[in-house]
Structure 1
Amino acid sequence: MIQSMTGFGKASVQLPTKKITVEIKSLNSKGFDLNMRLPSVYREMELGLRNQAAHILERGKVDFSVFIESTSEVTSTKVNAPIIRAYMAQLEAIYPMSDPTELMKMAIRMPDALKTERDEIDENDWQEIQQQINEALANIKEFRIAEGASLEREFVMRIENIRSLMNSAVALDSERIETVKTRLRTAIEDLKATVDENRYEQELIYYLEKYDITEERVRLDNHLNYFLETMQGEGSNGRKLGFIVQEMGREINTMGSKANHSEMQKMVVQMKDELEKIKEQILNVL
């Protein structure tokens, strides 16, 4: 079954001192394009997470975010008192008799006035984060499968529309051939020339072979069947479906160039319209 590259997955958990939230969003892309946002303390885990996401999601433009919100009254950012006192002393030397409150306001904005104590990775916290990541990846996978089922229904409808239009065009073939014969005979009669019947038959056969669409019809029918068969295959098959759609387009275009019949041309245009709608959606297929 096909899957969409468009998806969204989210998971969160409330721990005693923090809330962990994982969000994963994906859109269509030719390859795997991952934008990952992690708290700085977990940067060393990024490579492993990238490999994990690439293995599960395969393709798509992916935004992968891990948010950790502290719910504790304890903060890792501290006021660097010695540095602030030093700044205030320097400012006092420049502006004697200054208001200490104003000096404090200026000093607190200076570099290194605040210091952040680097946290070490807590294995228990990381296990919780990994669990939420696994859940978010499972959720986005489920989302993609659901979107893929919707795309599959759309494709089946469009493929059957093309097949129906193709059969309707083929049904006009005998009428079209008679029209070609009549047109050639009328053109010869207008010339008021004596025609060798054998030569006329040879020319007629040449034109009928030139306008024959049997080969295109057979190939297009095979491509339609192959498209439906490929959709049911395992794994990523979006690129393969794209190639099949290109081949379908070639056969429809050739039928149009050979049609030489107004009603058949209309059906070819309708087939092209259905095919364009498939092309628009095929870009979303994994």
Structure 2
Amino acid sequence: MSIRSMTGFGLAEGLTPSGTYRIEIRGVNNRFLEIQVRQPKFTAGLEQQIKKEINSIISRGSVSVFITCDKEQEETTLTWDKASVDNYMAIFHEIQSTYNLDGKVTLSDLLNFSDFIKSESTTFEESVLWGHLGPVLADAIAAFQKAREAEGEYIINELKKIVEEINRTLEQVELRAPLRITEYAKNLSERIQKLIENPPDPLRMETEIALFADRLDITEECTRLHAHINKFYDDIKKDEPVGKSLGFLLQEMNREANTIGSKANDTEISHLSVKLKELIERIREQIQNIE
């Protein structure tokens, strides 16, 4: 099983004894699983079985199944009863002979006694209908799954590109982070030199710089963000639906990016933090379609 999109389309047609079926399956993203079936009245009894088949291949999404058939379940065939017509004709001739009546018996006369015309209907049991419709549905599902897998593969490739960009941006943050402390120490020393004539106490300077470094340390945030990225790569390799879990993981990634930005105290890191959040948001948009 590969990562599948909730978006897909499948189509199949099949000629059966009960008619030619055309089945379309369309899927779009949804937080939960919703299945709608539109079908001929005579197949209404198969709706639960159809939903069961769809439910077996998708756990999230809004799925619409459209089924049409070129025939109705009941095909009416008209026949006529020759024995009844023979009886009617014999009676007509007997009446003519008895009462010495002229004229011929016409079809219009016979149609006044239309009980000799009979209709026969062909019906199919639900089990037989399922034997006709089921294989066509299976073909439509196979096409639907193929489309979902193709879309899912495309999304995963796009996600990998974005995550790689997040990795590169995070590396820039980690390279820049220690330089802030060095620059802060230099700027602090220069400011103090301007304010006082005597050199500042080195121990006091070291303490101030250490406090600054501790307050703005983003090592843990970067480490956790790296861990989340690794978890992301692991999740997209799983043989199960991961859309929801990726959504929760992105919340954690965004939290770390926000914390990095709030601790930045540096224009470059602030800009990199904004970029991280933009990239995470792009991932969030993409995974909306992942099952």
Shorter-chain TM band: 0.7 to 0.9
Larger radius of gyration: 2
Q: Tell me which residue corresponds to 2:4.
A: 3
Cα distance in 2 between the residues matched to 1:179 and 1:118:
90
Unmatched 5+ stretches in structure 1:
79-116
Q: Tell me which residue corresponds to 1:100.
A: none
Deviation, 1:17, is 6.8
The match for 1:199 among 190, 197, 204 is 204
Q: Secondary structure at the match of 1:233?
A: coil
Cα distance in 2 between the residues matched to 1:231 and 1:209:
36
Cα distance in 2 between the residues matched to 1:169 and 1:122:
65
Q: Secondary structure at the match of 2:134?
A: helix
- Which region of structure 1 is more displaced relative to structure 2, 37-46 or 209-218? 37-46
Please say if residues 7 and 289 of structure 2, whose CA atoms lie closer than 8 Å, have aligned partners that are also in contact.
Answer: yes
Please say if residues 18 and 129 of structure 2, whose CA atoms lie closer than 8 Å, have aligned partners that are also in contact.
Answer: no
Deviation, 1:139, is 1.2
Matched, 1:238 2:239: no
Unmatched 5+ stretches in structure 2:
79-120
Q: Secondary structure at the match of 2:241?
A: coil
Cα distance change on mapping 1:193 and 1:233 into 2, 3 Å: farther
Cα distance in 2 between the residues matched to 1:126 and 1:254:
58
Length-normalised TM-score, structure 2: 0.77
Q: Tell me which residue corresponds to 1:218.
A: 223
The match for 1:165 among 166, 169, 191 is 169
Matched, 1:138 2:139: no
Please say if residues 27 and 61 of structure 1, whose CA atoms lie closer than 8 Å, have aligned partners that are also in contact.
Answer: yes
Q: Secondary structure at the match of 2:70?
A: strand
Letter in 1 for 2:265: N
Q: Tell me which residue corresponds to 2:159.
A: 155
Cα distance change on mapping 1:182 and 1:118 into 2, 3 Å: farther
CA RMSD of aligned residues (A): 2.6
Length-normalised TM-score, structure 1: 0.78
Please say if residues 46 and 126 of structure 2, whose CA atoms lie closer than 8 Å, have aligned partners that are also in contact.
Answer: no
Deviation, 1:178, is 1.6
Cα distance in 2 between the residues matched to 1:17 and 1:52:
21
The match for 1:129 among 104, 128, 133 is 133
Q: Tell me which residue corresponds to 1:58.
A: 59
Deviations 1:179-206 (A, max 9, x none): 2223333444455397554333222211
Q: Secondary structure at the match of 2:62?
A: strand
Please say if residues 41 and 119 of structure 1, whose CA atoms lie closer than 8 Å, have aligned partners that are also in contact.
Answer: no
Q: Secondary structure at the match of 1:178?
A: helix
How many residue pairs end up in the alignment?
A: 247
Q: Secondary structure at the match of 1:156?
A: helix
Q: Secondary structure at the match of 2:263?
A: helix
Q: Tell me which residue corresponds to 2:103.
A: none
Please say if residues 173 and 272 of structure 2, whose CA atoms lie closer than 8 Å, have aligned partners that are also in contact.
Answer: yes
Matched, 1:280 2:281: no
Cα distance in 1 between the residues matched to 2:169 and 2:219:
15
Matched, 1:13 2:14: yes
